[in-house]
C-alpha cells in the first residue's frame, strides 16, 4: 500500500493509472475505521482496479463546540486494516496540505442542505462538500463510495457532482450495524457497553416506524410520534430530530406514498448519533444489515 500525503503526488499517480486504463475508486473517510468503512472499501475494490482510501479529519465540517479535537485519530491501526484488505493507496494529508494559509474557496449546495442535519449543524455540509470536492480533484476517481449511514450527505454529494459536472459515479453502500442493530460509527468509541445498549433505542425506533409504514400507516406525524416515544423512554437521550422525508428529494411529506427516508439524530449522554432507514408502503424491508 502506498502512503501519500501530498495532493500533487496523488494527482500524478492518478494520472499515471488512468493512462494505463485503470479504473479508480475513492473512499473518503475521517478514519477510526470500523466494519462500516471497510464494507465501503470492499465495495470499491469490487468495482474498480485501484482503490484509494482517504483519511482526513476535516476541521471545516465540525461546528463550534463540536468534537473536532476529541474525534478519534488512529492512523497506524487504520493503516494496518487497509493494508490487510489490500488497499492500493492511502491518502492521509494534514491540515496545511488541505487548507494552506489564506484558504478561501468553498463549495455550497443549497436547498437539500438546509434540512435535517443542516438545521442542527450549520456549516457542516459546506465543509463536507468542500473537502469532498477537493478529494475528488486530488484523486480523479471514476467512482467514489459513500455510506447510507449518512443518507443526507450522500444525496448532497450526488447533487454536487451532478450540478458541477464532475465526471465521477457516486456509489452508496448499505449501513453496517452491530448485532444489536446499532449503526457502526467512529463516535461509538465515545460510548461504553451500557451506553451502546441504550443507543439501540434509535434503530429499534426506526424499525418500528418502518414497520408501521409497511403495514399501511401513511401519516408521517404518527410514525414520528411512535419513534419519539421509544427514544424518549430511554434514559439519557435528547432528540435533535426524528423525521420522515421523501427518500430522493428529502422533501417533507404530508402523506407517505413512496420511498421514504426515516431519519433520526439523538444525543445519548452527550454523544450525538445519527441513523436512518428507507422504507415504502407495503414493501418489506431487506434484512437488518442492509438498509
Shortest distance, position 82 Cβ to ligand AMP, whole Å = 13
- The window from 28-36, 43-51, 263-271, 282-290 that contacts ligand AMP (CB under 6 A) reads 28-36
Residue 216, burial from CB neighbour count under 10 angstroms (0-12, 13-18, 19+)? exposed
Should residue 44 be labelled a site residue for ligand AMP when binding is judged by CB under 6 A?
no
Which residue number, 176 or 231, has a Cβ lying nearer to ligand AMP?
176
What's 31's DSSP letter?
A: S
Should residue 39 be labelled a site residue for ligand AMP when binding is judged by CB under 6 A?
yes
List of residues 6+ apart from 249 with CB closer than 8 A: 112
The runs of H, that is alpha helices, within 110-192 are 117-120, 124-139, 151-163
User: Which set of grid coordinates corresponds to residue 212?
Assistant: 408501521
CB atoms within 10 A of CB 8: 10
Cα three-residue angle 151-180-78, rounded to 5 degrees: 65
Should residue 185 be labelled a site residue for ligand AMP when binding is judged by CB under 6 A?
yes
Q: Are 218 and 256 in contact (CB under 8 A)?
A: yes
Should residue 199 be labelled a site residue for ligand AMP when binding is judged by CB under 6 A?
no
In angstroms, what CA-CA distances link 196 with 15, 178, 230, 234, 268? 44, 10, 15, 12, 9
Q: Please identify which residue in 36, 127, 205, 220 interacts with ligand AMP, judged by CB under 6 A.
A: 36
What's 254's DSSP letter?
A: S
**CA pair distance 275, 150, nearest whole angstrom:** 7
In the three-class reduction of DSSP (H, G, I as helix; E, B as strand; rest coil), residue 222 is classed as: helix
Q: Which residue out of 37, 68, 120, 124 is catalytically annotated?
A: 37
Shortest distance, position 54 Cβ to ligand AMP, whole Å = 9
Shortest distance, position 10 Cβ to ligand AMP, whole Å = 18
Q: Please identify which residue in 37, 43, 121, 159 interacts with ligand AMP, judged by CB under 6 A.
A: 37
Catalytic annotation present for 68: no
Cell 493512462 belongs to residue: 19
- The window from 36-44, 63-71, 118-126, 203-211 that contacts ligand AMP (CB under 6 A) reads 36-44
- The window from 77-85, 93-101, 170-178, 236-244 that contacts ligand AMP (CB under 6 A) reads 170-178
Site for ligand AMP in 100-159 (CB under 6 A): 146-147, 149-150
The count of chain residues that interact with ligand AMP, using the rule CB under 6 A, is 17
Which residues face 279 on adjacent strands?
Answer: 260
Q: Are 224 and 242 in contact (CB under 8 A)?
A: yes
- The window from 75-83, 183-191, 227-235, 281-289 that contacts ligand AMP (CB under 6 A) reads 183-191
Q: Please identify which residue in 48, 112, 160, 184 interacts with ligand AMP, judged by CB under 6 A.
A: 184
Which residue number, 146 or 256, has a Cβ lying nearer to ligand AMP?
146
Should residue 57 be labelled a site residue for ligand AMP when binding is judged by CB under 6 A?
no
Binding stretches for ligand AMP (CB under 6 A)? 29-30, 36-37, 39-40, 146-147, 149-150, 173, 175-176, 183-186
Enzyme catalytic residues = 37
Amino acid at each position: 500500500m502506498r502512503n501519500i500525503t501530498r495532493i500533487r503526488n496523488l494527482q500524478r499517480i492518478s494520472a499515471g493509472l488512468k493512462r494505463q486504463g485503470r479504473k479508480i475508486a475513492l473512499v473518503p473517510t475521517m478514519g477510526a475505521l470500523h466494519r462500516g468503512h471497510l464494507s465501503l472499501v470492499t465495495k470499491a475494490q469490487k468495482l474498480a482496479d485501484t482503490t484509494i482510501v482517504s483519511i482526513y479529519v476535516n476541521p471545516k465540517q465540525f461546528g463550534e463546540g463540536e468534537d473536532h479535537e476529541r474525534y478519534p485519530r488512529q492512523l497506524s491501526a487504520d493503516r494496518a486494516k487497509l493494508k490487510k484488505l489490500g488497499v492500493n493507496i492511502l491518502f492521509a494529508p494534514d491540515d496545511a496540505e488541505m487548507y494552506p494559509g489564506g484558504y478561501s474557496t468553498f463549495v455550497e449546495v443549497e436547498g437539500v442542505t438546509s434540512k435535517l442535519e443542516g438545521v442542527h449543524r450549520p456549516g457542516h455540509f459546506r465543509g463536507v462538500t468542500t473537502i469532498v470536492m477537493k478529494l475528488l480533484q486530488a484523486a480523479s476517481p471514476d467512482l467514489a463510495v459513500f455510506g447510507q449511514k449518512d443518507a443526507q450527505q450522500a444525496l448532497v454529494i450526488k447533487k454536487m457532482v451532478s450540478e458541477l459536472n464532475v465526471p465521477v459515479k457516486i456509489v452508496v453502500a448499505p449501513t453496517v450495524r452491530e448485532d444489536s442493530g446499532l449503526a457502526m460509527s467512529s463516535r461509538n468509541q465515545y460510548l461504553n457497553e451500557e451506553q451502546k445498549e441504550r443507543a439501540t433505542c434509535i434503530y429499534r425506533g426506526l424499525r418500528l416506524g418502518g414497520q408501521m409504514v409497511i403495514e399501511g400507516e401513511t401519516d408521517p406525524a404518527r410514525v414520528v410520534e411512535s419513534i419519539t416515544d421509544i427514544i424518549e423512554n430511554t434514559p439519557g437521550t435528547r432528540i435533535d430530530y426524528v423525521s420522515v422525508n421523501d427518500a430522493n428529494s428529502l422533501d417533507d411529506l404530508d402523506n407517505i406514498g413512496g420511498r421514504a427516508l426515516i431519519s433520526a439524530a439523538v444525543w445519548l449522554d452527550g454523544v450525538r448519533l445519527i441513523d436512518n432507514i428507507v422504507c415504502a408502503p407495503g414493501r418489506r424491508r431487506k434484512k437488518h444489515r442492509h438498509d
